[in-house]
Structure 1
Amino acid sequence: MTTATMPKKKRQILPKEQRRQQLIEATIRCIARDGLGSITMHMVTQEAGLSLGIANLHFKTKDNLLKETLRSVAEEYHGGQIAIMEGHRTAGLADRLASLLAFQLGRGVTQRQKMAVWFAYYGEAGARPVYQKIVSASDRMAALTLESLFTDIIEEGQYKDANPAEIAMGYSALIDGLHLALLVTPREISKRQAKAIARNFLHRAFPRHI
């Protein structure tokens, strides 16, 4: 068969959601590498190996793409936490607490690429109300679920004078700080050390549960 008679290779047609996910994942890689302020649609489509027309078809504008990327990252992180905290109804409270810690400082969450993107959006949230709205909504839902979990643990363990709201706020701040330390100063703290620090915090609060 000559070149002239060879059939042309057809472009693979993928479902809409799969194409959208391709573009979101490419956006995550670009933000982690080049920073949020440098992102262009052309940059993302090159990274994804797709045409600009495909990106415009699915997201219309760069702002829409960036909003959906933030929403995807937030849902992955907070959705994972919430599923552990309230979704595993058959698991005991101690098991949920251990699973939550393993998730928050596990390999999936502490990938440098994911953490870089998360903190890039947090840095812009103050100046971009739309980012702040997305971040605040997901943060609030996770915070309420964490407080509810800690309330149940306090009741079960009969931890006197323990304030679930204060413990939840302190623990969330600690986890955020550990994530930032792992991103910015990875030579000074390992994931194992970060997990030990968080576990010690929980053990002091709930010694009979972890």
Structure 2
Amino acid sequence: VLACRYDILIPSERPLKVKKKRQALPKEVRKQQLIHATINCIARHGLSAITMARVTQEAGLSMGIANLHFESKENLLKETLLYVTEEYNKGQRTILESGDFASTAAKIQALLDFHFSVAVTQETKMAVWFAFYGEAKSRPTYQKVCSLSDAEAALAVQQLFALAIREGKYHNLDAGFLAAGYTALIDGLWLNLLTAPQQLNRNSAKKVA
């Protein structure tokens, strides 16, 4: 009886349920969540089927957050393209600017390993690359980003091959032609990995290159 009376007299001491609030994450974290969700949506549905609603559902975020950080679908797509482009260029730059390799040949091998690494040849990443490149001719914004990325990558590879030619004292070889041929080969193998993975895997593609 005393327990019942005590329970009635001091109800404030009973534990109260507190409703959890969604954690407020930094702006860059939210943006990356939306960009990664966009990458997954492009890989699954294609570039033309992308909507803000689809991306926010994939990310588990509200339309309000997406509009706050990107304002429009076009801005979100551009930022996604810039993200995957910079990620790729940064990885390549790390190799090409490193002074830790024993020889130029070792650096070329490291570059080849990078081009067929798991990070670069993920199906989602390659699907995004080719989706944007397919739209580049009709979308000046995409074309500009893709062209700048291609130019940076081509120049870096050309300089590496030029160094190999000088060190090896090779004659009648053009570093520009070698770089163009190498890039075309890599692009073709990436496309095969994306469209016919049952016929060509990552390790086989690297051996071909």
**How many residues are aligned here?**
197
In the other structure, the counterpart of 1:64 is 75
2:4 paired residue number: none
2:105 aligned with 1:89: no
**Stretches of structure 2 lacking an aligned partner (at least 5 in a row):** 1-11
Q: CA deviation at 1:77?
A: 1.3
Structure 1 position 97, deviation (Å): 0.8
Uncovered stretches (5+) of structure 1, i.e. residues with no partner: 199-210
TM-superposed deviation, 1:189? 1.3
Matching residue of 2:18: 7
Q: Indicate which of 150, 171, 175 corresponds to 2:161.
A: 150
| Alignment map for 1:114-125 (pairs within 5 Å) | 114-125=125-136
Q: Report the TM-score when normalising by structure 2.
A: 0.90
Output the CA distance in 1 between the equivalents of 2:71 and 2:208.
Answer: 44
Aligned equivalent of 1:201? none
Within a 5 Å distance, the mapping from 1:9-158 to structure 2 comes to 9-85=20-96, 87-91=97-101, 92-158=103-169
Give the whole-Å Cα distance in 1 for the aligned partners of 2:53 and 2:109: 43
Q: Distance in 2 between matches of 1:41 and 1:190?
A: 34
Structure 2 counterpart of 1:177: 188
Q: Offset of 1:78 from its aligned partner? A: 2.1
CA distance in 1, matches of 2:81, 2:118: 20
Matched residue type, 1:66:
L
Q: Which amino acid aligns with 1:22?
A: Q
Contact 1:26 1:44 in 2 (8 A): yes
Following superposition, the deviation at residue 122 of structure 1 comes to 0.5
SS of residue in 2 equivalent to 1:14 = coil
> In the alignment, residue 31 of structure 1 is paired with which amino acid?
I
Amino acid at match of 1:183: L
Structure 2 CA distance for aligned equivalents of residues 105 and 26 of structure 1 = 24
**TM-score, L = length of structure 1:** 0.90
Hey, what's the Cα distance between the residues in 1 that align with 2:93 and 2:184? 17
Distance 2:25 2:168 in 1: 51
Three-state SS of the structure 1 residue aligned to 2:39 is helix
Q: Which AA in structure 2 matches 1:195?
A: K
**CA RMSD across the alignment:** 1.7
SS in structure 2 at match of 1:106: coil
Deviations 1:135-171 (A, max 9, x none): 0011101111110111111111112111100000000
**In structure 1, what is the equivalent of residue 8 of structure 2?**
none
Offset at residue 15 of structure 1 (A) = 1.2
